[in-house]
Every structure is written in structure tokens, then in C-alpha cells.
Structure 1
Amino acid sequence: MSDSQNPQEDDQAQPLVTHLTELRDRLLRSVLTILFVFLCLFYFANDIYYFVSEPLRSLLPEGTSMIATEVASPFLTPFKLTLVASIVVAMPMILYQVWGFIAPGMYQSEKRVAIPLLISSILLFYAGLAFAYYVVFPLVFGFFSGVGPEGVSYTPDIARFLDITLKLFFAFGIAFEIPIATLLLIWAGITTPQALAEKRPYIVVGCFIFGMLLTPPDIISQALLAIPMWMLFEVGVFFGRFIGTKKMGPVEG
């Protein structure tokens, strides 16, 4: 009796093994892509750090420079930044692998919505990074470099600078995903554009609280994060009126 059940158990286990094998392969491709990009960028590690630190270095008092307080910081800090940059550059390929894994289980109607959302999420993430670098960094570092007491030399540590920079980069990158999150909530039927519009006052307050937590305590830099977040939320609500809610249907290929 037990022997007759073995073929059925094998048939049930086979799809799971197939999915796990495919997941392993796609993870391996993602890692290899990151490694390839890293090897291409590593030669320029110091140049990349020089570029990223430019908004701060341009504001340092004349005759001062950034410092390294740890023995390995001159090597490890550019190394860490280059690794993170490699992940950011390889993000389209990583998301493509994620899409390739989940797409076979999606309905055709879901794919028509998911593909534009996926592309938009990549573009918005990069837009958030660019906004942080070109708009927020000069204001944030300008504030920090100008509030110190007289007689104190402002010489930021390169490792501490990188930690703050990466937090701001990813905070703004994630913040710029608000339209995608809003559309997904509407598409999944969790909420509606009308319900979100009614909660607008709470959303605005939440945006300013988020901005207060991520920026220095001045109204200008707080507004530079809060107002774009609010406007991106409004964009998500606006387009959410056109996509409708998720509907299940037969798989079309």
C-alpha cells in the first residue's frame, strides 16, 4: 500500500523542487550580476566616494577636509559604497529576476497592471536617490556645517558620513515609492481612492512627521521631503481612480 502512494508523493514534490530550483537559479543570477557590476566599479571606488561626498566637501571651511578615524576606513568605506552602488545599478536585473519567478503564477490581467508598476517603481526609486543627492544633501550638510560653535573644527569622518548618506538615500528612494504603494493598495481592494482622499489630512501630517524624523530640525528641509511625499501620494490616488480593483480570471497563457 505504501509503495502505491510513492508515485503520488513524488508528483506532489516535483513542482516544489522545480520552484526551488528556479528560485536558486534566479538568486544566483542576481548575485552574479551584482558581483559583475561591483568588479566593474571597484576600480573607481575612490572616484565614486569623491562624487557622493561632493555636497559635503564643497561646504567644508577652507583648509579643512574629511578624516578617517579608523585604520581600515580609507579602504572599507569606498568598498562599502561601491557594493551598495552595485546593488543599486543591478536593481533592474534583480527585479527582472523577481518578475520572472512570480509572473507564471499571475493572470494576464494582473500582468498588464504589474509590468507598468514594476517599471515605475524602478524609475521612482532612482528619482528619489537623485532628489536626495541634488536637493536634500546640500541643505542637510549645509545645516550641519553651519551650526557648530566657534572654535570647533568641522572635519567629518568618512565612515560616519557614509552611514548618514546611505540612510538618506534609501529613505528618499523608499519615500518616492509612495505612488506605487498607493496604487497597489487600491488595486488589491484594500482601500479606495475615495477613502484615501478622506484621510488626506492624516496623510499630510504623517508626511511632515516622516520629514521631521529624517531631516535636520529646520522647516525648509522638512518641507522638501514632506511636500514631495504628499504630492506623490496625490499622484497615486489620481491614477488609482483608473486602474480599478484586482479581478480574478482565467489564465491567458
Structure 2
Amino acid sequence: MIKFSDPDEPMPLVSHLKDLRTRLLRCVAAILAIFIGLFSFAQQIYTLVAAPLREHLPANATMIATDVASPFLTPFKLTMVVSLFMTMPLILQQVWGFIAPGLYRHEKRIAIPLLVFSIVLFYAGMAFAYWLVFPLMFKFFAAATPVGVAMMTDIANYLDFVMTLFFAFGMAFEIPVAVVLLAWIGVVDVKYLRKVRPYVVIGCFVVGMVLTPPDIFSQTLLAVPMWLLFEVGVLCASLIRSRSRTQALDAG
């Protein structure tokens, strides 16, 4: 038997699993529905995603497809990924609906804003990568191309490259949520987070070096926002802990 917050209303394991199955099916159905709606625009979607690179290609240079099926499969794959990203608010809402009955009221007051901010920050990270990082990075690559080398990128390789960076920046922008969660559940203390700040700064640049291409611009453009977001997370965590202590004193 699995019990939620109300001890008088136990929920059988079978019912719990049925609820999980229903929510998973809703997520899959939503992804497929969006994918079907976007599939006719697959070529335009890929053109939009490839725009930061195409703007910096040399004159008369184009992107290429080295595999026979790439002109079809690559936009197909991109459209599926875009459908997943667009469905993310619904997916997280279903996750919330599944775990919310097991939370206390004071936990829900913190969990709901964290859920909303996690969605917003993930999209903000992707937008930051597309509008700021990609143009600077591809401009650098185009300028660094050796003389006599034609810069013609394969469309499948480009998609894998940008999807990795989209995910990296999206997850990097989740740092404030992770910091607040760790402080909220008591894994780390705010004073400890402030103490390890120098190591966090170094770690941000190490992560930027690993996740981005080997140029100082893209590495810095990932590391600096990660550090600033860490500081935002520490500030929010300190405010939440201070508020919790105030409520505890009032209750006492």
C-alpha cells in the first residue's frame, strides 16, 4: 500500500501504477499530436535552426548531406525533438500531478514555483544559446577556417552539435533550481555554498570547456551565466531558509 499526505485515504499500488500509465500515455499522445502538426513544416524548422551557421558561411558555400536519407531523416529527427521540447510544460505538469498528492502543503508552496521556474529557465538557456552563443561561435569558426578549406557542414552533424549545446545550456540554466532544492532538503547549507564559491567558479569554466567547442568565446558564454545563476540560487536559498526560520519562530 502506498499512502499519500492523507493517512485516511490509502492508494493501492495497482491504482498508483495505473495513474502513472495514464499520465505517460498523455505525454506520448501530446508529443505525437504536436509532431503531426509540425511535420509539414519540418524543412522550415531545420532552416530556422541552421540560420546561425548559414549566416556565417562563406560566399557560395552551402550545407551538405553526406548520407542518402539525411535530407529527410534530419528534419524528421529535429521535428521530433522540437515536439518533445514544446511538450515539456505538459510533461512536467503530469509529473507534478503524480507526486503532488504525496507532498505536504508547505512543500507544495515551494515546489510549484520551482517547477515553473525550471521550465522558464530551461527555455531561457536554449534561447540564450541560439540568439547569442551560436552567432558568436559560428562567426569564430568561419574566421578560423584555414585557407583552401571549404566550410561545408553536414546537416546531420550540425543537428547533433546544436542539440547537444541546446541541452547543455538548458540544463546549465537549471542551476538556481538545483541549488535551492539542495539547500531546501538540507543536503548543503547556504554558508557552505558561499564558502565553496571559488571552487564553483573554477568548476563552471571546466564544465564550459568540456561542453562547448574549444574556443574561449563559447566557453566563457557558458561559464559566466552558470556562475551568475549559482549566485542567484544561493540568494534564493538564503531567502527561503530565512523565511522558514521566521515561520518556525512564529509558530513556536
The TM-score normalised by the length of structure 2 is 0.90
Structure 1 match to 2:163: 166
Structure showing greater relative contact order (alpha-carbon pairs closer than 8 Å, 6 or more residues apart): 1
Structure 2 match to 1:105: 102
Q: Does 1:39 align with 2:41?
A: no
CA RMSD of aligned residues (A): 1.6
Q: Counterpart amino acid of 2:145?
A: G
Displacement of 1:244 in angstroms is 2.2
Change (3 A) 1:56 1:184: same
Structure 2 distance, partners of 1:25, 1:215, is 38
Which of residues 53, 56, 60 is equivalent to 2:57? 60
Q: Counterpart amino acid of 1:84?
A: V
Structure 1, residues 197-232: CA drift from partner, whole Å, max 9, x if none?
Answer: 000000000001111112233323221111100000
Displacement of 1:14 in angstroms is 7.2
Structure 2 match to 1:251: none
Structure 1, residues 111-163: CA drift from partner, whole Å, max 9, x if none?
Answer: 00000000000000000000000011112222222222211111100000000
Structure 2 distance, partners of 1:187, 1:14, is 27
State the structure with more CA Rg.
1
Q: Give unpaired runs (5+ residues) of structure 2.
A: 1-9, 246-252
User: Does the CA contact (< 8 Å) of 1:182 and 1:237 recur in 2?
Assistant: yes
Q: Give unpaired runs (5+ residues) of structure 1.
A: 1-12, 248-253
Which 4+ stretches in 1 moved above 4 angstroms? none
Structure 2 distance, partners of 1:228, 1:124, is 12
Q: Does 1:237 align with 2:234?
A: yes
Structure 1, residues 177-210: CA drift from partner, whole Å, max 9, x if none?
Answer: 0000000000000111111000000000000111
Structure 2 distance, partners of 1:150, 1:18, is 66
Between the aligned residues of both structures, percent identity stands at 60
User: Does the CA contact (< 8 Å) of 1:132 and 1:168 recur in 2?
Assistant: yes
Structure 2 distance, partners of 1:107, 1:137, is 43
User: Does the CA contact (< 8 Å) of 1:68 and 1:157 recur in 2?
Assistant: yes
